[in-house]
Structure 1
Amino acid sequence: MSIRIPFMVKLLGLGVLVGLASSGIAEDGYESAEYKVVEKDGNIEIREYPDLMLASTNTDPDARGRDGSFMRLFGYISGANEGEQKIAMTTPVFMEAGQAESEGKMGFVVPKNVVDSGTPEPKSSSVAIRKREGGRFAVIRFPGRMSKELAKENEAKLRTWMESKSLAGEAKAETAGYDAPFTPGPLRRNEVLIRVQQPESVEAPGQ
């Protein structure tokens, strides 16, 4: 029994950590990425985001972190960086689609105090620090266990809403998750985000 209990605890802990990648991490008690709500319509919002720094790694979106992507990022915030610095977990976990369905990027938001003091470089070449450009995003929030089908369904709803508002959006969408895997589906917070394309400014005559 003395051998089995620690093993089971480790196994359970690993399962929880890997599972977090499918929907993010528990929202309560964690620093969340800042944004300003510009417009709200039910479960849809227009938000202004500042620039964010992400610890990022390549991932297969269908793997939901089980391809090692989550653990690479978790290793970075656990001290696998130049300063061997422990970095607090944040919300949300961003998932960005790539050119192919099997390509994508997973990103942890680097806490503001770490950015201000100098974000340490990762020790692993499979983790990179990159800037997520700020700007205006259309966002739809929905519950349930995140899946490709659920994300596509809500992305379609969001694009339909954007069309009704005459808002042009980028072709690619992001997903964001905030909850631990043991959070019941109806209580989960998932989001799809589409960057709003700003109309080009028109110069006045003579300028």
Structure 2
Amino acid sequence: MKRRMIYVAATIGLAAVAMAAWTITARAGYESAEYEVIESDGNIEIREYPDLMLAATDSKMDAQGRDGSFMRLFRYISGANEDGQKIPMTTPVFMEGDVGESDVSMGFVMPKEVAAEGVPEPKGDGVKIRKREGGRFAVIRFPGRLDSRVAEEQEAKLREWMKSRGLEGETKAEAAGYDPPFTPGPLRRNEILIRLNDAANTDAES
């Protein structure tokens, strides 16, 4: 019996390692939005982001794209645009707005090459192209399923850390998800981002 339990535990462990390796490999297959890490403290970072171009649509935070928002964006990058252009998927998917509320804007980051050459206009309603202004952000990273409750908890932790450092940021936060919906919760990469105001940026650089 003891040997069997060891075998089962080893099998589960190997499966977990294999799933983790698969998740990392899957993420590596996508272009990811660039940023520079200014400061790191455990699972919290201060990052500098450049301007990013997003294809965005209205979404429900708790739906995680099951309200049709994800598919609207997916159809856009699959060719539902004025050029009929297929655009590679990238990470992360940004969700901007009041993270603790249900109504947010879900956005796919446009690849650097597409942004440089000109982002094609969407066909039909529901998808808009807009610029996400670059700047300095406080960011907390965490696993699990992302919903309004989790987002509120992580945002509170991040704001407490910012307060301890004398950093001030915008009242609204963003969420970012890096994994497909079928990725197991413990292997998922989620983030909450708060844009630091100009005074905080100046203080951090001085």
| TM-score class, shorter | 0.7 to 0.9
Partner of 2:132: 132
1:87 offset after TM fit, Å?
A: 0.2
Distance in 2 (alpha carbons) for counterparts of 1:104 and 1:53:
17
Q: Which amino acid aligns with 1:77?
A: I
Cα RMSD for the two superposed structures: 1.9
Q: Which residue identity lines up with residue 62 of structure 1 in the other structure?
A: D
The TM-score normalised by the length of structure 1 is: 0.81
Render the CA deviation track for 1:4-62: whole Å, top value 9, x for unaligned.
xxxxxxxxxxxxxxxxxxxxxx5220000000000000000000000000000111222
Which residue in the other structure is 1:50 paired with? 50
Is 2:97 the counterpart of 1:113? no
If the length of structure 2 is used for normalisation, what is the TM-score? 0.81
Q: Deviation at 1:148?
A: 1.3
> Within 1, Cα distance between the matches of 2:174 and 2:51?
15
Q: Which amino acid aligns with 1:122?
A: P
Rounded to whole Å, the distance in 1 between the matches of 2:136 and 2:88 is: 26
Please tell me the residue identity of whatever aligns with 1:155.
E
Contact 1:48–1:134 under 8 Å retained in 2: yes
In structure 1, runs of 5+ residues without a counterpart are: 1-25, 203-207
Matched-pair contact (CA < 8 Å) for 2:167–2:200: no
Cα 1:126–1:43 shift into 2, 3 Å:
same
Amino acid at match of 2:79: G
Higher helix share: 2
Q: Take 1:97 and 1:196, find their aligned partners in 2: how far apart are those partners?
A: 15
Where 1:199 maps in the other structure, the secondary structure is: helix
Q: 1:8-19 counterparts in 2 under 5 A?
A: none
1:59 aligns with 2:59: yes
CA distance in structure 1 between the partners assigned to 2:159 and 2:30 by the alignment: 30
The sequence identity of aligned pairs, in percent, is 69
Residues 1-207 of structure 1 mapped to structure 2, 5 A cutoff: 26-98=26-98, 101-199=101-199
Report what 1:205 is aligned to: none
Distance in structure 2 (CA, Å) of the matches to 1:200 and 1:36: 17
For residues 43-85 of structure 1, the C-alpha deviation after alignment (integer angstroms, 9 at most, x for no partner) is 0000000000000011122222111111110010000001000
Runs of 5+ consecutive residues of structure 2 not aligned to the other structure = 1-25
In 1, Cα distance between equivalents of 2:80 and 2:29? 23
Mean Cα displacement is larger for which, 42-51 or 122-131? 122-131
> 1:118 deviation in Å?
1.1
